[in-house]
Amino acid sequence: MLGCATALPPHYYSQEDLLQGLEQLWREQHYNGQRLRQFHQAMGIAGRHLSLPREDYLKASDFSQRNRAFAQVSLELAERVVSDLLNQSQVCAEQIDFLVYTSVTGLSVPSLDAQLMNRLPFRLDLRRLPLFGLGCLGGAAGTARLADLLKGKPQSHGILLSVELCSLTLQPQDLSAANLVASGLFGDGAAALLMGPAASGRPAVVDTRSVFFPNSQEVMGWNIGSHGFSIVLSPQVPHYAQEHLGPALVQFLEDHQLSPADIKAWVAHPGGPKVVDALQQALGLPTESLRTTRDSLQKVGNLSSASVLFILAEVLKRDYRPGDYGLMLAMGPAFCAELVLLKW
């Protein structure tokens, strides 16, 4: 891992500002405004960045309009974050051999990675891999798949790009508990990770593991219809983190003669306060182990696949000793998880 950059859209609002806007939107429909307030306050989020000015979300818009906004904002963020990544890593676009792109909050054909080819001077033989449908899992899974690609060409360079504009999936007509929770949890952002030949002071991917939980597809995902993306978000997510992900993670570490206590850097996706608590309890971790995860959630909210890369960017700023281990992990639709073991 040679570098990681992040980018946020310019429209920032405190959690209270966003709550007031939603209260205005749902005032006549929502039978229990106090419940909405409780959901938002329970997240422990200070504020979030949005793709559009807050007032634009109060206007009637269909899926086509929102997806056009995704196409415009996502390309702007993608160009900015990849340019920043290349500049800070002192690597030229022409040196990039692979580009993996993940998102689950907007659709475009050609995909965003192809559109980015017309903005940045990548080689015309760049190998692209767009990933859709992985949800919050995408940042960890994309890292793992890029590592797989680079195994066959260890001197090559590859970029993982994540752009998630969760605010554009807001469903004004949906008063389900899942949508009310999502309206207080998710934010917008983009991140890009550069991987390539081993470098001093940087972690390498030691191993990866995909974990699938059978008969759990109703736990998380989208129902996609004429209104666009409608959230599927079960209250069982913390249960899966504690009862299923915890044991799978411990087994993964044991296969490398490690335990949770051996992990110095936790790069854990911030699914939500209850999910983070459940993971901490399942692994018997001290509170400080997941501090970076909690801080990221508090500052910008859950950014779906981009969140784990935001956390990784913070981890890469710190000094670790050669031989220290880190673990990247996330859960997502299916229901499933992705684990990435790192070593400095």
How confident is the model over 113-167, as pLDDT tens digits?
Answer: 999 999 999 999 999 999 999 999 999 999 999 999 999 899 999 999 999 999 9
Distant-in-sequence, close-in-space partners of 67: CB < 8 Å, separation ≥ 6 = 106, 107, 108, 168, 228
Catalytic residues: 136
Secondary structure (3-state) at 328:
strand
Rounded mean pLDDT of 206-235? 92
Task: Give pTM, 2 decimals.
Answer: 0.95
Other C-beta atoms closer than 10 Å to the C-beta of 253 total: 20
How confident is the model over 16-26, as pLDDT tens digits?
Answer: 999 998 888 88
Assigned token pair, 118: 């017309």
Which pLDDT does position 204 carry in this prediction? 97
**Nearest partner of 2 among 120, 206, 157, 163, judged by Cα:** 157
Rounded mean pLDDT of 22-37? 79
Which pLDDT does position 30 carry in this prediction? 65
Which pLDDT does position 175 carry in this prediction? 85
Tell me the pairing of strands 47-50 and 96-103: unpaired
Q: Give helix then strand counts, H and E, for the chain.
A: 11, 13
- The reply to whether omega before 10 is within 30° of 0 (cis) is no
* CB-CB contact of 99 with 161 (8 Å): yes
How confident is the model over 292-324, as pLDDT tens digits?
Answer: 999 999 999 999 999 999 999 999 999 999 999
**Nearest partner of 2 among 190, 292, 198, 143, judged by Cα:** 198
How confident is the model over 46-97, as pLDDT tens digits?
Answer: 999 999 999 888 776 789 999 999 999 999 999 999 999 999 999 999 999 9
* CB-CB contact of 7 with 168 (8 Å): no
Edge-to-edge order in the sheet of strand 127-132 = 3-7, 188-195, 157-165, 96-103, 127-132
CA pair distance 279, 274, nearest whole angstrom = 9
* CB-CB contact of 249 with 267 (8 Å): no
**Nearest partner of 303 among 270, 277, 327, 333, judged by Cα:** 270
Rounded mean pLDDT of 235-260? 94
Q: What is the DSSP string of 255-302?
A: TTT--GGGEEEEEE----HHHHHHHHHHHT--GGGGHHHHHHHHHH-B
Q: Which residue type is seen at 81?
A: V
Task: Please check the confidence at residue 29 and state whether its pLDDT lies above 80.
Answer: no
Rounded mean pLDDT of 220-229? 89
Residues constituting the chain: 344
CA pair distance 98, 101, nearest whole angstrom = 10
Which pLDDT does position 109 carry in this prediction? 94
CA pair distance 253, 317, nearest whole angstrom = 24
Task: Please check the confidence at residue 203 and state whether its pLDDT lies above 90.
Answer: yes
Which pLDDT does position 87 carry in this prediction? 97
Helix axes 246-254, 273-283, angle to 10 degrees: 40
Task: Please check the confidence at residue 28 and state whether its pLDDT lies above 80.
Answer: no
Average pLDDT of the chain is 94
Domains of the chain: 3-195 (3.40.47.10), 204-343 (3.40.47.10)
